[in-house]
Amino acid sequence: MTEAENRPNVARMYDYYLGGCHNFAADRAAAEEILKIFPDTGVAAQSNRAFLRRVVRWAAEQGVRQFLDIGAGLPTQGNVHEVVRAIRPDARVVYVDHDEVAVAYARRLLPTDGRTVVLQGDLRRPGELLADPTLRATIDLSEPVAVLLLAVLHFVPDADDPYAAVAKLRDATVPGSVLALSHLTLDGLPTLPTEQGTAIYRRSSPLVPRSRDEVARFLDGYELVEPGLIKVAAWRPDGEPQAAVSHGYGGVGVRR
Ligand SMILES: C[S@@+](CC[C@H](N)C(=O)[O-])C[C@H]1O[C@@H](n2cnc3c(N)ncnc32)[C@H](O)[C@@H]1O
């Protein structure tokens, strides 16, 4: 077993919560510890994926044809390109993750049709990401882009200035572009279990839940789409059966 497999990994723990099979014993053990503290984590992960499908559908219906999914994770059911192509068959989707295992699985499992691309890149280095030749060959930054930051910003501590990174992505896109995000919060939760939970995550990555106001700041420069920044399960429910469990805020903004 490699060192990488011995250490729990947030992409593969998330895959385990979603019932996926691309995870190792160390990921399952850490995820089970989280599930003991927060038994509804699997349902919350499903809620986050349902939110992703709704926002992608919404953006495609607004006419957006380009999607940049940063912190995309391991392929699962209802990936961005599948949802968007049902509405816009010509859409282009760039998946980005900094984790080499997630990228390797994505490259193996996703179509290589030139309109779906997988890149290894880091949200903390948006300049490098935006300069990537494959990204530039796939996404035309003079046309609107939907930037998806779902369940990823809470892995970026303030010391790495996630606000500057998100602003840089915003400034690289034209008006009419979209930012969709979801973000873990501990608002309203008791302190002790949340400290235990973040300690488990710290073995693989820093985990930085943020308050509603702190999450709202990521959407500076965007016009917030109704119903605003709210718990993901409550964002424009579409009748698809889902438990109303959310561990995070979700919101969508349109660049002015
Ligand atoms: C919880 S998963 C979310 C997957 C998907 N976005 C979703 O919401 O269903 C978080 C993903 O973010 C990735 N990630 C964490 N920090 C990152 C960074 N700085 N740059 C790019 N990806 C990152 C992790 O590797 C992981 O795959």
pTM over 0.85: yes
Identify the weakest region by mean pLDDT among 3-12, 136-145, 149-158, 187-196.
187-196
Candidate ranges 20-34, 105-119, 139-153, 193-207; pick with highest mean pLDDT? 139-153
How far, in Å, is the centroid of ligand 1 from the Cα of 125? Answer: 14
- Can you tell me which atom of ligand 1 is nearest the CA of 76? 9
Burial of 216 by CB count in 10 Å (0-12 exposed, 13-18 middle, 19+ buried)?
Answer: middle
Strand-pair category, 248-255 with 178-184 = antiparallel
To test ligand 1's pocket by mutation, which of 49, 152, 208, 232 has the most ligand atoms within 8 angstroms of CB? 152
Sign of CA dihedral 102, 105, 110, 116: positive
pLDDT digits (tens, 9 = 90+) for 188-246: 877 777 888 889 988 888 899 999 999 999 999 999 999 999 999 999 988 776 667 78
If we measure between CA atoms, which residue out of 48, 37, 39 comes closest to residue 195?
37
At residue 112, the pLDDT reads 78
If we measure between CA atoms, which residue out of 122, 175, 189 comes closest to residue 152?
122
- Can you tell me which atom of ligand 1 is nearest the CA of 72? 6
- % of the chain residues with pLDDT over 70: 97
How far, in Å, is the centroid of ligand 1 from the Cα of 17? Answer: 14
pLDDT digits (tens, 9 = 90+) for 51-82: 999 999 999 999 999 999 999 999 888 899 99
Give the Å distances, CA to CA, from 160 to 64, 177, 247. Answer: 30, 24, 23
73: left (phi over 0), alpha (psi -120 to 50) or beta: left
DSSP letters, 31-43, are HHHHHHH-TTHHH
Reply yes or no on whether the pLDDT at 115 is more than 80: yes
DSSP letters, 63-113, are T--EEEEET--S--SS-HHHHHHTT-TT-EEEEEES-HHHHHHHHHHS--S
To test ligand 1's pocket by mutation, which of 7, 16, 98 has the most ligand atoms within 8 angstroms of CB? 98
Kindly state the average pLDDT of the residues 5-32: 93
How far, in Å, is the centroid of ligand 1 from the Cα of 256? Answer: 27
How far, in Å, is the centroid of ligand 1 from the Cα of 14? Answer: 9
Strand-pair category, 116-120 with 222-224 = unpaired
Ligand 1 pocket list (CB less than 6 A)? 10-11, 14, 48-49, 52, 70-73, 97-99, 102, 122-124, 150-152, 155-156
If we measure between CA atoms, which residue out of 210, 181, 205 comes closest to residue 194?
210
Strand, helix or coil for residue 48: helix
137 in Cβ contact with 128 (< 8 Å): no
**Contact residues for 214 (Cβ-Cβ < 8 A; gap 6+):** none
At residue 195, the pLDDT reads 85
**Contact residues for 88 (Cβ-Cβ < 8 A; gap 6+):** 60, 64, 65
At residue 3, the pLDDT reads 66
